[in-house]
Amino acid sequence: MKKKYALLSLFIAIVFALAACGGKEKESGGNESSKSSGEESKSTLDAIKERDKFVVGVKYDTKLFGLQDPATNEVEGFDVDIAKQIAKHILGDEDKVELVEVTSKTRIPMLNNGDIDAIIATMTITEERKQEVDFSDVYFEAGQSLLVKKGSDIKSVKDLKKGDTVLAVKGSTSAQNIREHAPDATVREFENYQEAFMALKSGQGDALTTDNSILYGMAQQDPNYVVLDETFTDEPYGIAVKKGDTEFVNEINKVLKDLRESGEYDKIYEKWIGEKPKK
């Protein structure tokens, strides 16, 4: 009798073991199927077309390029108009663009996290940044300079000495470059350009450095400040997309080429910068 019960127990154990193995195989197969479908992710262009919206990171604090009007909450500027032209090319309507605020510090992480499709935010093309993102052709040529109060003794980057404080923005190339060109000066970094400009006006610094194109916008806001004529770097702006997204880069480059050939680029440039682009 004991032998009979032992055989029955063994039989039940084998049945449960086989059932468990079958369940694991089924579960494993399900996971593998899910993983393979997840790997088949859409390209950026396909995602934009399916969403019917181009989501782009722009500055909200940079006059002439991307500045939010507090009265209307509208964001306007050179970069915004370029973004609208890309939306028009891909989706047939320049209004099918969603603007997302970025700063020099947050823009690359937001792109790589998938929060935005591209960065159009006064972003200089550098070899270091090329390790993290891919860039379009140059869409704006700028150079770094200094913003100072009228009557300042600072007439050039060479005038910056020990005891002088230069204000810059975190994550910008200007914060790095000013340390090379004025190693004796103190550099203070802020989260965005508006904070840095307010700090300059409140006497927390002797000069503010960034691209001259951005400084011109600040000087327009307060005529007590002037942009020095001297530029001490070349700052070619590019549109950044995720690393390896060659298809999207090529599409953006087509848009930029068409804008230049049609004369639309010159119109956008003159609208915001106040003069025709140098050929």
Q: Is residue 59 classed as helix, strand or coil in its secondary structure?
A: coil
Domain identity same for 132 and 244: yes
Domain identity same for 252 and 194: no
Q: What is the pLDDT of residue 171?
A: 84
Domain identity same for 153 and 224: yes
- Is 279 part of a structural domain of the chain? no
- Residue 122: give its domain's CATH number: 3.40.190.10
Domain identity same for 121 and 243: yes
- Is 209 part of a structural domain of the chain? yes
Can you give the pLDDT of all 279 residues of the chain as single tens digits? 544 444 445 455 544 554 444 444 333 334 333 323 333 467 999 999 999 999 999 999 999 999 999 999 999 999 999 999 999 999 999 999 999 999 999 999 999 999 999 999 999 999 999 999 999 999 999 999 999 999 999 999 999 999 999 999 998 889 999 999 999 999 999 999 999 999 999 999 999 999 998 999 999 999 999 999 899 999 999 999 999 999 999 999 999 999 999 999 999 999 998 888 876
Domain identity same for 48 and 136: yes
Place of tokens 């927390």: 204
CB contact at 8 A, 145 and 126: no
Q: How many domains does the chain have?
A: 2
Q: Are strands 186-190 and 165-169 parallel, antiparallel or unpaired?
A: parallel
Phi, psi at 26, each rounded to 5°: -65, -45
Quote the CA–CA distance of 273 and 141 in Å, as a whole number. Answer: 12
Q: What is the pLDDT of residue 9?
A: 53
Q: What is the pLDDT of residue 279?
A: 67
- Is 32 part of a structural domain of the chain? no
- Is 34 part of a structural domain of the chain? no
- Is 12 part of a structural domain of the chain? no
- Is 172 part of a structural domain of the chain? yes
Domain identity same for 206 and 261: no
Amino acid of residue 144: Q
Quote the CA–CA distance of 192 and 198 in Å, as a whole number. Answer: 10
Residue in 141, 139, 142 with CA at minimum distance from that of residue 81: 139
Domain identity same for 134 and 265: yes
Domain carrying residue 241: 44-141+236-273
